[in-house]
Amino acid sequence: MNETTCPFCRIAAGTLPADLVATEASWIAFRDLHPQAPVHVLIVPRRHLVSAVELENDPALAGTLLAAVARVARREGLAERGYRIVSNVGHEGGQTVPHLHFHLLGGRPLHWPPG
Ligand code: 5GP
Ligand code: ZN
pLDDT tens digits, 29-63:
999 999 999 999 999 999 999 999 999 999 999 99
Q: What is the pLDDT of residue 14?
A: 97
In one letter, which amino acid is 99? H
Residue 43 Cβ inside 6 Å of ligand 1? The answer reads no
- What average pLDDT does the segment 66-71 reach? 98
The closest ligand to the CA of 11 turns out to be 1
Outline where 14-106 has alpha helix (H): 59-75, 90-93
Sorted by where each begins, the domain ranges of the chain are 7-106
Query: In which band, very low, low, confident or very high, does the pLDDT at 64 lie, cut at 50, 70 and 90?
Result: very high
Query: In which band, very low, low, confident or very high, does the pLDDT at 3 lie, cut at 50, 70 and 90?
Result: confident
Q: What is the pLDDT of residue 19?
A: 98
Q: What is the DSSP letter of 78?
A: -
Residue 51 Cβ inside 6 Å of ligand 1? The answer reads no
Q: How far is the CA of 18 from the centre of ligand 2 (A)?
A: 14
Q: Is the pLDDT of residue 111 over 90?
A: yes
Residue 30 Cβ inside 6 Å of ligand 1? The answer reads yes
Strand (E) or helix (H) holding 105: strand 102-106
Contact between 47 and 3 (Cβ < 8 Å): no
Rounded Cα gap, residues 2 and 48, in angstroms = 8
Rounded Cα gap, residues 106 and 87, in angstroms = 15
Rounded Cα gap, residues 68 and 88, in angstroms = 17
Q: What is the pLDDT of residue 50?
A: 98
Residue having the nearest C-alpha atom to atom 20 of ligand 1? 33
Q: How far is the CA of 35 from the centre of ligand 1 (A)?
A: 9
Pairing of strands 102-106, 39-45: antiparallel
The CATH code belonging to domain 7-106 is 3.30.428.10
pTM listed for this prediction: 0.98
Q: How far is the CA of 34 from the centre of ligand 1 (A)?
A: 7
Rounded Cα gap, residues 25 and 33, in angstroms = 23
Q: What is the pLDDT of residue 41?
A: 99
Pairing of strands 83-86, 39-45: unpaired
Task: Please give the positions annotated as active site.
Answer: 101
